[in-house]
């Protein structure tokens, strides 16, 4: 008698560990993921993901196109990349820029707020052209009316004492800074950073770059309340009016 082979029984869904509901859930999830990917691709290819306008504010000496060149972005390029922080880092490499804030406003608007180093002085370059000196020591071409700032004379470009002077001038009261007419280096063995200042109110001041910020309040008081004279602000502070220097001594009478 020939043995008859019995076919294997088909496993039920419960035995296979997957129910029709679960298979349907997986399929729905796959469809959802594919749909999301398609929408993301379409979005990044649409105009909504592109820069529609770039506004640069706060520039005085820097042309807006130079700021955009440093940022490396143009209208029509990706709105999301590079990031705002990366754009700020790029723009801050410009020497005239003290700080910058980049604000992205969806859809497509990029606002760049630049703060340049402040104007603290003017000077003449080697060709005799007037330049404006910023508080970090950078000199830029003058355009239009000159600021009411002191003239730097006798300084060498790149001199660290000159740069330190520019930083010191930034911290002076605006009223005092406007009164300073000319500042020249006047170094000595004891005071390598000594400077000589002439004011519009006709004072002659001898001090040092390092001492200038701490002596600013005293200097303001003198030029506002005393007659013109010579002021020395070093280890000891002295003031002598020019009228006393020119007065005849008792022996001359």
Q: What does the pLDDT read at residue 76?
A: 86
98 with 183, same domain: the answer is: no
**26: its two tokens:** 């997986």
Q: What does the pLDDT read at residue 227?
A: 96
For the chain, the domain total comes to: 2
241 exposure class (CB count in 10 Å sphere: 0-12, 13-18, 19+): middle
Domain that holds residue 182: 119-246
The CATH number for 136's domain is: 3.40.50.10960
Are the beta carbons of 196 and 206 closer than 8 angstroms?
A: yes
130 with 233, same domain: the answer is: yes
98 with 171, same domain: the answer is: no
Q: What does the pLDDT read at residue 253?
A: 43
Q: How far is CA 185 from CA 30, 122, 228, 233, 236, in A?
A: 76, 15, 21, 15, 20
Residues of the chain with pLDDT under 50: 42-43, 253
Q: What does the pLDDT read at residue 107?
A: 85
- DSSP summary character for residue 50: B
Helix, strand, coil share (%) of the chain residues, nearest 5 = 35, 25, 40
Q: What is the pLDDT of residues 159-180, one digit of tens each?
A: 999 999 999 999 999 999 999 9
Instruction: Answer yes or no: pTM beyond 0.75.
Output: yes
Flag whether 36 is in a domain.
no
- Going across the sheet that includes 130-134, the strands are 139-141, 130-134, 119-124, 151-152, 180-185, 194-199, 204-208, 229-233, 237-241
Geometric angle at alpha carbon 83, from 81 and 88, rounded to 5°: 130
Pairing of strands 53-57, 109-116: parallel
Instruction: Measure the CA–CA gap between 6 and 238, rounded to whole angstroms.
Output: 121
Q: What does the pLDDT read at residue 130?
A: 94
Q: What does the pLDDT read at residue 94?
A: 97
Q: What does the pLDDT read at residue 126?
A: 85
């Amino acid at each position: 008698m020939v043995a008859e082979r019995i076919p294997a029984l088909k496993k039920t869904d419960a035995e296979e560990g997957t129910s029709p509901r679960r298979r349907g859930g997986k399929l729905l999830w796959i469809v959802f993921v594919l749909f999301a990917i398609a929408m993301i691709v379409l979005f990044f290819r649409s105009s909504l993901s592109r820069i529609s306008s770039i506004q640069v504010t706060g520039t005085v000496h820097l042309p807006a196109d130079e700021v955009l060149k440093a940022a490396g972005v143009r209208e029509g390029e990706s709105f999301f990349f590079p990031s705002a922080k990366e754009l700020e880092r790029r723009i801050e490499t410009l020497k005239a820029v003290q700080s910058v804030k980049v604000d992205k406003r969806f859809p497509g608007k990029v606002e760049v707020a630049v703060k340049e180093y402040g104007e603290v002085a003017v000077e003449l370059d080697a060709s005799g052209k007037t330049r404006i000196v910023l508080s970090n020591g950078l000199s830029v071409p003058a355009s239009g009316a000159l600021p009411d700032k002191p003239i730097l004379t006798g300084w060498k470009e790149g001199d660290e004492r000159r740069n330190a002077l520019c930083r010191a001038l930034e911290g002076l009261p605006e009223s005092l800074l406007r009164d300073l007419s000319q500042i020249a280096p006047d170094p000595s063995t004891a005071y390598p950073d000594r400077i000589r200042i002439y004011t519009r109110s006709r004072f002659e001041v001898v001090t040092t770059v390092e001492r200038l910020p701490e002596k600013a309040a005293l200097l303001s008081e003198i030029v506002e309340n005393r007659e013109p004279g010579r002021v020395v602000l070093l280890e000891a502070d002295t003031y002598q009016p020019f009228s006393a220097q020119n007065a005849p001594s008792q022996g001359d009478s």
